[in-house]
Amino acid sequence: MLTVVFGGLLFVLLPLGIVLYFGGVDYSQYDHPRPTPVTSQLGASAAHNHLVNLIQDERANNPKLGQKKMLAHMRAQMDERGVAHQIEAQIRPVCIDGVCGEWVVSPKSDQGRRVLYIHGGAYMVGSPRSHRRIAARMSQASNAAVFVVEYRLLPEHKRIVGIEDCRNAYLWVLGNGPDGPADAKALIVAGDSSGGNIALSLLTWARDTHQRAVDLAVVFSPQTDLTLASPSLVSNAKTDVMQGESFGPIVKAPKFIRLSFSFLMHRINPRSPIVSPLRGDLNALPPTLFQVSGVEMCLDDAVRYTNKATAQGSSVTLQIWPSALHVWQAFEVPEADEAFEEVGSFVAKHIGKGPGR
């Protein structure tokens, strides 16, 4: 009888303890106000719709592989796509003082203006090679040299190791450019999806450790809260072509299961600001541009961060494309052209166009 009672108590208390320890406070107060979508692109373009169909067909025909083989397949596939397209930029691989990655430098860009770009890929896939196109577009839009850091990924490495790689890259880029040692005249931190998560965490880390602050930040569809509490994670699971199939079942699970999954994956408490930038102090941060889709799962991560940061006195601009793919900026679609025009305007507003522009 005592065994049954003890087992029943454990069955009830263990999930409750997980929720209390890993869940943190409720941030639903930051679900409003809702931003106005970018009005010049209310519907998806024909090129965008064609891309969606290609992605869906490819996913349906993906080979059935074991977990390790599938991860290797996805990494190779992303890299192949990244190097398959010609770009108007020089590629300069670097591995110095423990910092590895690639400089992506568009013609006539000012090498004193630098972007530290942190690629996405669910913390498990992606590389500087997979993100060459988006880095080249960033270089053109910002008139800057872009360094895409090759940080260590899950599951081979602990999450904190990849974060430390990005912190080291942050410090390195301040004093090194494509042609060697030289101080940065301006520094931008940017990233997409999981890379956007790390980019945002770097802003508070730099502030709290009294590093030279970035001049501005640009993030595409970032994850800001690893407690997986944002409403759009569930409400947009069916409309998110890129993430819905993989992550929909996770976010629809009971809260204690979601939190347990997040902790076991990252080995850091999900409510820690190190991995959940939303849950940190967002005061005194540099101007930041968010671009996110209205139909993707990360929508409310962006809304909540924007509203909280604004309430705490930081300047955050949130732009929403109503029907775009998750990180559509990486593809050759009109929506990407429009997005990078907005990036260029944001950069020019805060640090100027730079020489020759």
**DSSP string for residues in 65-103:** --HHHHHHHHHHHHHHHHHHS--SSEEEEEEETTEEEEE
- From CA 209, how far away is CA 164, in angstroms rounded? 13
Closest CA to 303 of 190, 193, 225, 209: 225
Per-residue pLDDT, 68: 83
Domain boundaries, the chain: 33-57+89-351
- Which of 3.40.1120.10, 3.90.1150.10, 3.40.50.1820, 3.30.70.120 would CATH assign to domain 33-57+89-351? 3.40.50.1820
**149-168 residue pLDDT tens:** 999 999 999 999 999 999 99
Please list the residues that pair with 105 across neighbouring strands: 90
pTM of the model: 0.94
CA distance 264 to 95: 31
pLDDT tens digits, 204-254: 999 999 999 999 999 999 999 999 999 999 999 999 999 999 898 999 999
